[in-house]
Structure 1
């Protein structure tokens, strides 16, 4: 048998045990043992003995010894070749690759050789089984560790519901969940790509981990799948990188999963370059299997993709509801403007001043937006006031004024059926209450009046006093501010009047700018109009509560 063929056979797992058996038998019988196949024999490369320790250096099998019978035997056997010597043959191959260990021993050792050979083989077989079971235990322990890490990571997602708040986009969530996922999966980096639902273009939105792979390389990789429908993870290791992948600089292995739901793709998650686990032994760097992505890594990355896809789908539904509510608000405000041209812009000004007062009073951003939204809708009840009364060019009679006084309750009755807007109701219903209890519709006094109502009462009064009506001109700024000061503690909350005076210049500016440029806020607004963007933000925050 050629040296090359023998070496290939010696490198197979079948020869791990024969190699050890030959080592032991050589030391006992002081003779080399050879690997015998149908093609011939070769001496095993075991620890050499000194020449004076060897009784036989060559293997010479008699012609009468049938090689096929020797290889087919299931037990060790001894075959005499002279009065002094015999051949000890130990079959150790299998049906596909039959081979035997053969060595020349002294005839006097023949009786003990077979029990010894059996004992050596069985002993090494037990050692191998123990080693195999130890290896399995290590693998099971490693699997349990991976499962625990996976469950811990998934539990961390479930224990942080704030992650899935509608205000959080995929990039914000990825910044929280992907860095620990890099550690769990032992990868260099994980990349988030977001897909534009209109154009289908993929954009790199976030990267976790450290890698030398450049962003443009990742863009090139994802670009290979831009026009494809991918439903399952795509895994490529160093031994499976097809042409094209190999040209991507720095990528040894990678896995890609779609962030998709109901055939709509929202983006991609891509991980690159598997690292040896920290608990791996020192040979980890030499083992390709420890540097490859398998079902564990691909499955957990897919779990992350599914979570992100569910959130992206929810965001899409939320945006649709948001657009609907914003449209309703726009229609309501425009309907008021259409009925009362002289108060055009009034709701915008009250909303802006109310938000400024809320900020001055130390309310948090969410409460400021709530006040802003309530200010936009505070006069929605005027839809129910007859045009003849609302547009009367002269002063109202007592009966007509009583009709106008109904608008807070009308507005409340309109909006109370819109659950997404129930937070604006206190301002809509109570912006005409007075701090001393003389207001309407319920005659509440002091802090019985919701704070939102007290804030809007001041903003509404200031804008009404400084606005020009058909029957009178708007008051000068100084006179209106003097009236507010005089009414502090009676008609209005003193604390809110104090806050108003601290930002009186800003209030004046809000009113002046809007009155000089009313179409800026109240014309048919394009989608990128700043004023309506503000409404969109407010609705977004309010709906997501």
Structure 2
């Protein structure tokens, strides 16, 4: 995987929502080119339209490839359309089902599956593709190798991201249309405007529901208002989630969670499809253990078939009846909360996807060298423990963990022979491996979500006395995050077996840290290391769950 692919996927999942300004196929063209670092040819598998081949691509038999595409254009997943060493042609069907508009087209692009040397002549590949051998070789030498499986995996991730993005676009459009409709219908539209304007300010559906109840209290003359939220959404027919529902109330709402759920079940609010409005005489009030219900409006908080909870108001303050105005207003509010909750689910899925990509990259680094397997994760958790000892806030720990997890991401660009060399590196090899902090910084530097951790990645090999790399920073000029990661990285290296030595004894490690405190490492961080010594050893000895913060909380 080249260094641009994580960048594009990460930027796509963290950029704030904006209305689409380009056609979906055109937008996908840009994303594909940025992700894979090469232009694509877009062909009509039915041959109804001519296609244009960008000058940067080799002169393959594109018409033959267009014919090949007919056999799998209707499928929804990427495939390797053609492969002969060292060339593979990736084909990505772009269909309405995977998030594009109009007729199906297929995006094609050639890649090399191994490094091609200038002295090679790709005669067999040229014959198979109808290309000129010299031109094909000249193009192949300039390319970054991809494994066929990596091409398929990244292409699938791009399509998944596009599908999720289109769903989010649609949800936002529906939310805007709903607000515009209500503006001309209800006098209380100011409440809905305030609510929709706070969709991005609210951190979760609980905050948004509490805000909605506060504003509903201003316009609905009810003695009490409540929202009940389930920790996880569920579908009609499912049992109520085992986790305790969250009850949020305003005014004199005397009924507990069990009573609200009892009312919802009594009137089948979940399946009603509209607001449930009940007005009863005092002598016929709904009698519950926490008090009588004389007037009631209840609505389900849904998005599609997913149920996130209920909104309810009880007992008119003036003893009057509730009607369609109150019911429709609450339905509108519940719809907005439901859309927001659905968006949170989609964003959480994207965050999980992003975290999976990050972990896959770190696993790829670990896989390059069996002796450092698990090193990135251990350094990440050791960095978290040091930060805790230094008084860092709980909110800052996920970023510190990510800095440790990604500190060696630049080793993707280090030659395996150097990385796995069992003996001492020569000068050229050492200079080569010293590039990995800069490579890692370059891979991640345009990812806004990670900008706070970049100093830890770029400078974790700086030395307190200014003799480190890449910038020979010294003392307080070294970012604090880098000083923390440096101690964690060094401890894990010394406490692990390597090709050229076994792990060092603990007393030897302690002696090295003490003698080099104030020379190689920040004395403050070294002191924190010794205060947390037992926990650091616990991580080094294989405790895989210690000091692992949750990433990307919604």
Q: What TM-score range do you get, normalising by the shorter chain?
A: 0.5 to 0.7
Structure 2 counterpart of 1:395: 424
Does the 8 Å contact 1:182/1:190 carry over to 2?
A: no
Q: Does 1:424 align with 2:456?
A: no
Q: Give 1 or 2 for the bigger CA radius of gyration.
A: 1
List runs of 5+ in structure 2 lacking aligned partners.
1-185
Distance 1:241 1:394 in 2: 91
1:112-134 alpha-carbon deviations (Å, 9 max, x no partner): xxxxxxxxxxxxxxxxxxxxxxx
Distance 1:238 1:152 in 2: 30
Deviation at 1:481, TM superposition (A): 1.9
Distance 2:501 2:334 in 1: 64
Distance 2:218 2:431 in 1: 69
1:67-119 alpha-carbon deviations (Å, 9 max, x no partner): xxxxxxxxxxxxxxxxxxxxxxxxxxxxxxxxxxxxxxxxxxxxxxxxxxxxx
Counterpart of 1:345 (choices 366, 371, 374) is 374
Distance 2:423 2:202 in 1: 55
C-alpha distance 419-239 of structure 1, shift in aligned 2 (>3 A) = same
Structure 2 counterpart of 1:164: 202
Structure 2 counterpart of 1:84: none
Q: Does 1:502 align with 2:531?
A: yes
Structure 2 counterpart of 1:192: 228
Deviation at 1:227, TM superposition (A): 6.0
Structure 2 counterpart of 1:17: none
SS at match of 1:538: coil
SS at match of 1:378: coil
Distance 1:313 1:160 in 2: 16
TM-score (norm: length of structure 1): 0.58
Counterpart of 1:178 (choices 197, 207, 213) is 213
CA root-mean-square deviation: 3.4
Counterpart of 2:518 (choices 489, 512, 526) is 489
Distance 1:322 1:389 in 2: 34
Counterpart of 1:320 (choices 349, 367, 373) is 349
Does the 8 Å contact 1:351/1:375 carry over to 2?
A: yes
Q: Does 1:378 align with 2:407?
A: yes
Distance 2:346 2:329 in 1: 26
Structure 2 counterpart of 1:334: 363
Does the 8 Å contact 1:189/1:273 carry over to 2?
A: no
Distance 1:228 1:300 in 2: 19
Structure 1 counterpart of 2:476: 447
C-alpha distance 191-227 of structure 1, shift in aligned 2 (>3 A) = closer
Structure 1 counterpart of 2:398: 369
List runs of 5+ in structure 1 lacking aligned partners.
1-146, 277-289, 515-520, 522-529
Distance 1:241 1:307 in 2: 36
SS at match of 1:431: coil
C-alpha distance 195-342 of structure 1, shift in aligned 2 (>3 A) = closer
Distance 1:214 1:320 in 2: 32
Deviation at 1:160, TM superposition (A): 7.0
TM-score (norm: length of structure 2): 0.57
Q: Does 1:253 align with 2:289?
A: no
C-alpha distance 151-226 of structure 1, shift in aligned 2 (>3 A) = closer
Structure 1 counterpart of 2:278: 236
Distance 1:214 1:460 in 2: 52
Q: Does 1:413 align with 2:451?
A: no
SS at match of 2:541: helix
Structure 2 counterpart of 1:22: none
Does the 8 Å contact 1:252/1:273 carry over to 2?
A: yes
Distance 1:317 1:434 in 2: 43
SS at match of 1:208: strand
Q: Does 1:266 align with 2:308?
A: yes
Does the 8 Å contact 1:434/1:444 carry over to 2?
A: yes
Q: Does 1:539 align with 2:524?
A: no
Does the 8 Å contact 1:171/1:192 carry over to 2?
A: no
More helix by share: 1
